[in-house]
Amino acid sequence: MIKLEDYKAPEFKIASVHLEFALDPEATIVTSTLKMVSDSSTLTLDGDELVLLSVELNGKPVDHVVTPTSLTLNVPFTPFTLVIKTQINPTANTALSGLYRSNGTYCTQCEAEGFRRITFFPDRPDVLTTYTVKITGKEPLLLSNGNQLEHGVWHDPHPKPSYLFALVAGDLGVVKDTFTTMSGRVVALEIYVEHGKEPLCAYAMDSLKRSMRWDETAFGREYDLDVFMIVAVSDFNMGAMENKGLNIFNDKYVLANPETATDADYANIEGIIAHEYFHNWTGNRITCRDWFQLSLKEGLTVFRDQEFSSDMRSRPVKRIEDVRLLKSAQFAEDAGPLSHPVRPRQYAEINNFYTATVYNKGAEVIRMMKVLIGEKAFADGLDLYFKRHDGQATTIELFVKCFEEVAERSLDIHSRWYEQAGTPLVRVSTEYEGGVLILHLEQVLREGHLPQSLPLRVGFLSPNGEELFEETITLDQFKGRFIFEDFKDEPILSLNRGFSAAVNIDYGRSDQTLAFLATHDSDDYNRRQAVETYALKVLTKGADAAPFIALYGKLIEESPRDPAFYAHALTLPSEEDIAREIGANINPDAIKQTRNTLVVALAKAHAERASALFHTLQTGAFSPDAASAGKRSLRIALLRLMVIEGFDASEIYMNADNLTERFGALACVVHHGNVATRDKLMADFQARFEDNANVFDKYLSLTGMKASVLEVKTMLQGAVFTKFNPNRYRALVGVFAMSNPTQFHTKAGYDFLCEELLRVDKINPQVSARVANAFRSYKSMEEPRKLAAHEALLALSKHELSNDLKDIITRMLA
C-alpha cells in the first residue's frame, strides 16, 4: 500500500536523459543514459518486466542488484553518468502499458507507471528532466516528444516526468495544418492516422485549433513548442493521453464523418481533443508531485474542457449532460465500496484511481470554489498558479493556496471536499409567515466528517411564475438558517440552480410544485431537474402518474423552442438512476417493469403529438454543430414514443444520411420495436459496418444492453473477438455489465463476468479492473442477488490476479 503520509522528495536529480531505441517487434533494445547527481550513496530505480542487459557507471560495469521491480546500485556523491541497457518485447505487451504495438504501429502509454516497462528509471511524477531520444528502425515515421532534430532524433526542451514520455513508430498517413499563437508563432499541427483515414480527421483538427485559441482567450495560455502532434491508435486503454507535444488517442476519439460518427461522438472528439491539449498547461507545464495529487491535473483539466465545450455549444445543455454523468458515474461510485476522496490517502494500484471521483468530482470542487470566491478572484488565482508553479511538480494544497491568497480568505472548509468521500445530503425545510421566508438547511455527511462548504444558488419565483430574484448562499456549517423578506406571497424556491453544489437534496416537494418548476423555472438546469425529480417520484414513490403524463405532453409541445434542452427533459431516468434513488434492496426486474409501464403510458398519450412534431422538425444537410445535433436528439426522443406505439422506423433508419439518425432509429427499434424489425435492422447494421470497428462497437453495445449471458458468450466466440481489443471488449462485455441490469444482476451474470475477468486479467489488467467496477453496486442489491455476487467475487479473489484486479476485488469485498 502506498501512503500519502510516506511521501519523501527524491534525493537525486537527473540533469538530462538520452534514450536510444533500436526497434524490433520482439526484441527492442533501449539504451538510457542518465546524467545525475545524488545526495544518497544508493540509487534505486523502478522496473517492470524488463530484461536487463547491462549497467555502466561512468563508463564501467558496476555491481547492482536487480529484482522484478527494481534496480539498485551504489553511486558517488559527485555527478555521474549511468548507462542502462534493457530489452523489451513490444509484441507481447498486451497490457498496453509501456511500449507496445497496435496494428503494427509502435506506440507507448506511460501514465501512470508504464515508463518502468521501457527502462529502469525513477518512475515518479516529481522527477523532471529533459529528454533527447534517438529511434532507429525501418519505419518511415519515427516520433517522440518535442522538436525533431533529424529523422528519428528528438529533443524536448521542457523538463518533464517520465509519464509524459511518448514514442510512435510506423507507417501512417498525416493531416497537416498550422496554428498561429497569440504572440505570432506558427505551430505545425499534425494528426497521424492509418493510411486512407486522413479524410476522417477534419473535425479533430478543427477542434484542436479551436482549443488552442480558446486556451489563449479564456486562460491566457499559449502553446510552447513548434509542433503539436496527435496519433490515433486502435488499441488503447483509455480515451487519450497528453504526452508532451505528442498526444496519443484512442482512434474512436479522432475519426469522424457523418456516416460513421454520431453527434455524441463529435462532442466527445471535441471535448477530448480539448482535454488533452489543455493538459499542456494543467498537467505538463505544472505537473503532480505524487499520484495522490492526480486531481490537481485531472479535476482542473476536466473543469477546463467542460468550460470549453460550454462556450462552443449550449452552456445549460452541457451542464445538464455533465451533471447526468456526474450522478451516474461519480455518485454511484461514491455510494459503494469503491468510494474514495478526490485526494486519496492511500492506494494499492494507482491505475484504479483514474476515476469519476478524481476527474468529475474534482472538477466540481473547482467549480464550487469559483462560485465561492467569485469570477475575478478565480481568474487571478489561476494566473498566480500558472506563474508560481510553472515548471514544478506540485500539490492540491498549493493550488488552493493561490486562490486563498488572491481572495484573502481561508479555503480550509472548502478543502474538505478533497479529503472527505461521499456525497453530501442537504435536508431542506422552509417556514413562511407575513412576507418572511426562513430557509432551514442541514448537511448530512458521513460519521465523523466535518462540514463542507456548499454554495447554493437559490432562485425565488412568485406563485404565478415570475422570477423575483436569485441569491447565492453558502452552507458551511452542519445547519444554517437563511432569512428572506418582503414577499407579497409565499415564493417558490428553485434550489441549487445549475447544480452549483454537488450534493443530493432532500426537499419534500409536492407534485404540483415540481410541475410548476418544470414549466416556469428560468434556470434550465433546474427546470430539467424538476422533471427528473418528478419522474423519480412517480417511479419510486408511487406518485400519481396522470399529471406527470400531462406535464410530459406540455414539454413535447414546447420542445421546438430549444430542441437540445427538451431532448434531455423528455429523457426519463435510466434504470440505473432509479436504482440509485431506491438505494437498497434493489430488484432490477421490478425497476425495469415500472419504468416500462410509465414509458408505455407516455407513448400512448403522446405518440400522435410526437409524430406530428417529428415530421415538421427537419434537420437539413448534416452539420455537427450543437443546434443541428439538438434537433436530431429531439427527433430521436420523439421517435422513441412513436416506435413504442407501433410506428415502423425502418424507413427512418434506411433513409438516414447520418449515423446519429440511423443509429438512433436502430436503438429505438432494438429497445421498443417488434422482433422482426429489430432483427432485420440489426442485420443490416451489421452488414453495413462489419469492416468499421468503431461503428461496429455500437452494434456490440446495443447487443450488450439487451442480451442474455448466453447471447453475450456466443458473440464473444465470433471473429471480431479473436484478437483482444479494449474498445471491442468494453462495447460488449463492459456494456453488458454496466447497462444491462436485469441480465447482469443474476447468479449467471455474476459468474459469467467473474469468469471473463479472470480470463481478460491475463491479457490486460487495466481493462479487467475497469470492467470489474460493474460490481460496485452489488451491496445494494436484494437477496439472493447480493449473496450470489459476493460468492462470485470471493471465488475470483482466490485466484492469482493482477495487482489492478486484486485491488478492486479486495476493496469490493471489504
244/635 with CB nearer ligand TRP? 244
Q: Which does 552 bind (CB under 5 to 8 A by kind): Zn ion, ligand TRP, none?
A: none
* Binding flag, residue 501, ligand TRP (CB under 6 A): no
* Cell representation of residue 744: 447482469
* Binding flag, residue 113, ligand TRP (CB under 6 A): no
The angle subtended at Cα 361 by Cα 357 and Cα 363, nearest 5°, is 125
How many of the chain's residues bind Zn ion (CB under 5 A)?
2
In angstroms, what CA-CA distances link 469 with 459, 484, 521?
6, 11, 12
Residue from 139, 156, 263, 276 touching ligand TRP (CB under 6 A): that is 276
175/366 with CB nearer Zn ion? 366
* Binding flag, residue 111, ligand TRP (CB under 6 A): yes
- Evaluated on CA atoms 540, 546, 547, 548, the torsion sign reads positive
Q: By C-alpha distance, which of 669, 676, 730, 673 is closest to 698?
A: 730
* Binding flag, residue 305, ligand TRP (CB under 6 A): no
* Binding flag, residue 251, ligand TRP (CB under 6 A): no
94/574 with CB nearer ligand TRP? 94
Q: For the CA atoms of the chain, what is the radius of gyration?
A: 27
Residue from 86, 102, 109, 559 touching ligand TRP (CB under 6 A): that is 109
* E strands present in 326-416: 346-347, 393-394
Task: Give catalytic status of residue 276 as yes or no.
Answer: yes
In the region spanning residues 287 to 346, those forming contacts with Zn ion, defined by CB under 5 A, are 298, 301
Considering only 184-192, 232-240, 318-326, 643-651, which stretch makes contact with ligand TRP by CB under 6 A? 232-240
Name the minimum Å distance from CB 281 to ligand TRP. Answer: 13
* Binding flag, residue 278, ligand TRP (CB under 6 A): no
Q: Which does 99 bind (CB under 5 to 8 A by kind): ligand TRP, Zn ion, none?
A: none
Q: Which does 238 bind (CB under 5 to 8 A by kind): Zn ion, ligand TRP, none?
A: ligand TRP
Residues 362 and 398: their CA atoms lie apart, in Å, by 15
298/521 with CB nearer Zn ion? 298
* Binding flag, residue 237, ligand TRP (CB under 6 A): yes
Q: Which does 351 bind (CB under 5 to 8 A by kind): ligand TRP, Zn ion, none?
A: ligand TRP
- For 32, the 3-state DSSP assignment is strand
Give the torsion through C-alpha atoms of 326, 327, 331, 333, to 10 deg.
-70
- For 206, counting Cβ atoms within 10 Å of its Cβ (0-12 exposed, 13-18 middle, 19+ buried), the class is middle
Three-class HEC string of 532-591: HHHHHHHHHHCCCHHHHHHHHHHHHHHHHHCHHHHHHHCCCCCHHHHHHHHCCCECHHHH
Q: Which does 521 bind (CB under 5 to 8 A by kind): ligand TRP, Zn ion, none?
A: none
Residue from 17, 112, 269, 809 touching ligand TRP (CB under 6 A): that is 112
Residues 415 and 409: their CA atoms lie apart, in Å, by 13
Q: Which does 109 bind (CB under 5 to 8 A by kind): Zn ion, ligand TRP, none?
A: ligand TRP
* Binding flag, residue 269, ligand TRP (CB under 6 A): no
Q: Which does 237 bind (CB under 5 to 8 A by kind): ligand TRP, Zn ion, none?
A: ligand TRP
116/606 with CB nearer ligand TRP? 116
- One-letter amino acid of 522: S
* Binding flag, residue 351, ligand TRP (CB under 6 A): yes
Residue from 23, 175, 238, 669 touching ligand TRP (CB under 6 A): that is 238
Asked if residues 368 and 453 have their Cβ atoms less than 8 Å apart, the reply is yes
- Catalytic site residue from 276, 307, 333, 576: 276
283/491 with CB nearer Zn ion? 283
Name the minimum Å distance from CB 314 to ligand TRP. Answer: 24
* Cell representation of residue 572: 426519463
Residue from 126, 235, 242, 761 touching ligand TRP (CB under 6 A): that is 242
Residues 407 and 373: their CA atoms lie apart, in Å, by 6
Q: Which does 569 bind (CB under 5 to 8 A by kind): ligand TRP, Zn ion, none?
A: none
Three-class HEC string of 762-813: CCCHHHHHHHHHHHHHHHHECCCHHHHHHHHHHHHHCCCCCHHHHHHHHHHH
> What angle, 0 to 180 degrees and rounded to 10, lies between the N-to-C axes of helices 747-761 and 803-813?
150
Report the 10 Å Cβ neighbour count for 646.
Answer: 11
* Binding flag, residue 354, ligand TRP (CB under 6 A): yes
* Cell representation of residue 258: 457523418
Which residue number is nearest to ligand TRP in terms of Cβ? 238
* Binding flag, residue 298, ligand TRP (CB under 6 A): yes
356/715 with CB nearer Zn ion? 356
298/576 with CB nearer Zn ion? 298
Residues 506 and 483: their CA atoms lie apart, in Å, by 19
Largest CA distance in the chain: 90
303/778 with CB nearer Zn ion? 303
How many of the chain's residues bind ligand TRP (CB under 6 A)?
13
Residues 9 and 4: their CA atoms lie apart, in Å, by 12
Q: Going residue by residue from 246 to 285, which x/- string records binding to Zn ion, judged by CB under 5 A?
A: ----------------------------------------
Considering only 60-68, 151-159, 235-243, 524-532, which stretch makes contact with ligand TRP by CB under 6 A? 235-243
In angstroms, what CA-CA distances link 168 with 135, 173, 559?
9, 13, 48
Eight-class DSSP state of 658 = S
Q: Is 795 left (phi over 0), alpha (psi -120 to 50) or beta?
A: alpha
Cell 516520433 locates to 143
298/562 with CB nearer ligand TRP? 298
Residues that bind ligand TRP in the complex, under the rule CB under 6 A: 109, 111-112, 237-238, 240-242, 275-276, 298, 351, 354
Residues that bind Zn ion in the complex, under the rule CB under 5 A: 298, 301
The catalytic site residues sit at 276
